[in-house]
Amino acid sequence: MESFEELARNRFSTKNFSNKELPDEKLQKILAVGNVAPTAKNSQPQKIYVMKSLEALEKIDKLTVCRYGAPVVLMVVYNEEGIYHYMNSDKYNSGAEDAAIVATHMMLEAADIGVSSCWVNRFDPDEAAKIFNLPKNEKVVLLMDLGYPNGVVKPLPPHSTKKDISEIVTYL
């Protein structure tokens, strides 16, 4: 069994999925782990739309070229009415960060159970909301492809290029 650090280091975005069906029990496990993710003040503003039908996947293909043949795409959104607002601020809130925490939990759970994923942000969130007729108070944050690789896949070259920790950490 991999350690969490090994899992985090080894996981990469798959850019070529097979048409092999994702078993429902694995999908449900991924969604369940997303459901236990922490959110600001436990407000749980996230909502996850599961795209599996041909019709839904065709709509995703109109939004982005980054489905890469995945048989399942999750659309992670947050409800503006359930977000935490930073102290004394109407400008800053927890919506996108809560959705990102939930998505990260799901992405890492997928990797842990042998399911490949790709976090997609190459699309217009407003267009996604329009195409899927989402309520006005729901804001789309990301799409996540899920499935199995089509043959041998490798991470893109920049995957393992990381800044030195001294470049990203400052002690005050």
**Would you write out the chain's pLDDT as a tens digit for each of its 172 residues?**
789 999 999 999 999 999 999 999 999 999 999 999 999 999 999 999 999 999 999 999 999 999 999 999 999 999 999 899 998 888 899 999 999 999 999 999 999 999 999 999 999 999 999 999 999 999 999 999 999 999 988 888 888 899 999 999 999 9
Q: What is the pTM of this model?
A: 0.94
Q: Find out whether 120 and 14 touch, Cβ atoms under 8 Å.
A: no
Query: Is 63:127 a contact under the CB 8 Å cutoff?
Result: yes
Alpha carbon of 116 to those of 10, 11, 20, 40, 153: distances in Å?
11, 8, 12, 28, 10
Nearest to 8 by CA among 113, 114, 157, 112: 112
Compute the CA torsion angle 14, 141, 61, 161 (nearest 10 deg). -30
- The pLDDT of residue 103 is 98
Domains in the chain and their CATH numbers?
4-168 (3.40.109.10)
Q: How far apart are CA 115 and CA 73, in angstroms?
A: 12
Q: Check residue 88 and give its pLDDT.
A: 84
